[in-house]
């Protein structure tokens, strides 16, 4: 009885992948996946920065709205709208960067009656930002420049961020004695 051996015959271009081709394709695939992961990590970081930017912007606007509301309701006088270093008797607002403490009984932030507790952000966590309000006189143009007694410039500066990535948001507006 004769045993026949079946030899597989292959055509010259259809032998499959070589080990070198498999290694190169795996390397290309790995580089692509690492690139996608890096892009994903960058997008998560950008999302966090965007969230912090939004909170800083809202904090500055809330600060300004509180000042206008207190002035419009008559709770404070125009003479109170100054930093304490500008007018130690009438100036309500603390100088320099201050922690984001909750507003006190007067309803205004960065004044002497602020509470010790920090403000709470939209995520329920304490805000870790610093804020500053600066009042500066507004000058009439002309020789000689004179101070306009009915108008002041307000500059709100918010410092925020984590670690070495500290950012600053500044908003400027004007307030007058007129309601």
Q: What pLDDT was estimated at residue 123?
A: 84
Q: Would residue 140 count as lying in a domain?
A: yes
- Whether 168 is in a domain gets the answer yes
What is the C-alpha separation between 92 and 73, in angstroms, rounded?
Answer: 16
Whether 17 is in a domain gets the answer no
Are 130 and 101 in contact by the 8 Å Cβ rule? The answer is no
Domain count, the chain: 1
Residue 10 belongs to a domain? no
Question: Bigger pLDDT: 3 or 155?
Answer: 155
pLDDT (tens digit per residue) in 132-157: 999 999 998 888 889 999 999 999 99
Other Cβ atoms within 10 Å of 92 Cβ, number: 23
CA-to-CA distance for 83 and 110, rounded, in angstroms?
Answer: 10
122 belongs to a structural domain: yes
Domain housing 122 = 22-176
pLDDT surpassing 90 at residue 39: yes
**Which residues touch 160 (CB under 8 Å, ≥6 apart)?**
52, 55, 56, 128, 129, 130, 166, 167, 168, 169
């Amino acid at each position: 009885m004769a045993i026949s051996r079946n030899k597989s015959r292959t055509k010259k271009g259809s032998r499959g992948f070589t080990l070198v081709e498999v290694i190169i394709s795996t390397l290309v695939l790995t580089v692509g996946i690492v690139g996608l992961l890096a892009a994903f990590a960058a997008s998560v970081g950008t999302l966090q920065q965007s969230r912090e930017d939004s909170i800083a912007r809202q904090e500055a606007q809330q600060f300004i709205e509180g000042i206008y509301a207190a002035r419009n309701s008559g709770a404070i006088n125009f003479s109170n709208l100054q930093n304490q270093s500008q007018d130690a008797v009438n100036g309500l607002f603390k100088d320099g960067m201050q922690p984001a403490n909750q507003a006190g009984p007067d309803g205004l932030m960065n004044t002497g009656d602020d509470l010790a507790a920090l403000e709470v952000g939209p995520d329920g966590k304490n805000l870790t930002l610093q804020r500053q309000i600066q009042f500066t006189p507004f000058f009439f143009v002309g020789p000689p420049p004179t101070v306009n007694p009915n108008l002041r410039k307000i500059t709100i500066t918010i410092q925020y961020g984590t670690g070495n990535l500290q950012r600053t948001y500044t908003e400027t507006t004007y307030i007058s004695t007129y309601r």
